[in-house]
Every structure is written in C-alpha cells, then in structure tokens.
C-alpha cells in the first residue's frame, strides 16, 4: 500500500518508514548492549557465591556487601565507592516496582532505620513479588534472596540504576 500512493506522497512515506526502522533498531541495539553488560556484572557477582562474609573484606576468603558490588561492576571498568551508603548516591534512582537485573538495592539493617548499611544486586525479576538479589549476608556469606522476603522488604530503602 505504501508504494501505490498518490504522486508526491511516496518519498515522504518511504523516509518515514526508514526513520522508524532506524530508531527501533537503535533502541533494540541499546537494549542488547545493556543486557550484555548486566549479564557480565551478574555473572561476576554469582562467581562469589559461597564466599564467607567478612566486615571490610574484599577477597574470596571473605568480603562484605559493598566489596561484592565493587568487584561486580569493576568488570565494566566502573569504580564504585567503598561503602553501601556512598554507593546509594551513585546512578539513577528507580522505584522498587521498576527494578531490573543489574540494579543496586539498599537496606537499613542496623539500629538506625534510615541509615543505609547494606547493598545487593538484582539478579532476576521473576514476578512482581519474586525479585532475586545477590548480596553478602553476615550469616551466610554471598547468597541470593528474594527482596520481598519479610526481613528485606521491611528494611529496603532505595534502588539505583548504574547501567542504562
């Protein structure tokens, strides 16, 4: 139908179609690049699964939550601050219901209910109430948990997106 239009309309419609194809291919290319970066970060984080927790630790013999995210994002040549609280100021804020794999999530797990003391990395979004994140738990070391578990959802404070 596009090629059987009135005289003079065909070039405009052809350009319009080409513009749509160009912009949709750019958007899908951008999404693929983001997915590849996020997969690399998550794969790195998961390689630390089972690593014991050690406050201030930064190696496979023991690490804390912020060290896990630092090592994970370093695979993209991104440097993060050392503390969870400082990491919570990097990137773009996103709502919990809009988190995607690769986003950082922050919690107040200490005595002060507003002070951010813990960070994790979203790894999977299976359903609206089944969102997995990996983190360095003080009791279990590096593990994946559901952010909607009673313990974590009550302590959730904010989420940030570092990879667009």
Axis crossing angle, helix 65-74 with helix 10-46, rounded to the nearest 10: 130
Predicted local distance difference test score (pLDDT) of residue 110: 86
Rg (CA), the chain: 21
Q: Tell me which DSSP letter residue 98 carries.
A: G
Q: What per-residue confidence (pLDDT) applies to 66? A: 98
pLDDT score of 29: 79
Domain locations along the chain = 8-35, 36-161
65 is catalytic: yes
Q: What is the pLDDT of residue 98?
A: 97
Cα-Cα-Cα-Cα dihedral sign, residues 77, 84, 148, 94: negative
Domain 36-161 has CATH 3.40.50.300: no
Residue among 5, 26, 71, 118 flagged as catalytic: 118
| Average pLDDT, 10 consecutive residues per value, the chain (164 residues) | 51 63 65 92 98 97 98 97 98 97 96 93 95 97 98 97 94
pTM of the model: 0.83
pLDDT at 31: 83
What is the structure's pLDDT at 1? Answer: 45
């Amino acid at each position: 139908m596009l090629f059987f239009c009135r005289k003079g309309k065909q070039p405009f419609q052809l350009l319009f179609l080409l513009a749509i194809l160009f912009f949709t291919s750019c958007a899908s290319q951008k999404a693929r690049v983001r997915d590849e970066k996020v997969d690399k970060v998550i794969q790195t984080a998961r390689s630390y699964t089972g690593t014991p927790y050690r406050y201030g630790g930064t190696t496979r013999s023991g690490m804390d939550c912020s060290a896990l995210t630092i090592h994970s994002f370093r695979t993209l040549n991104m440097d993060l601050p050392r503390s969870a609280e400082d990491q919570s100021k990097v990137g773009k804020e996103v709502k919990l219901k809009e988190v995607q794999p690769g986003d950082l999530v922050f919690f107040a797990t200490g005595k002060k209910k507003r002070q951010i003391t813990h960070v994790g990395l979203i790894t999977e979004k299976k359903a609206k109430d089944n969102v997995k994140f990996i983190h360095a738990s003080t009791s279990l070391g590096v593990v994946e948990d559901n952010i909607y578990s009673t313990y974590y959802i009550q302590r959730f404070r904010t989420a940030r997106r570092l990879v667009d």
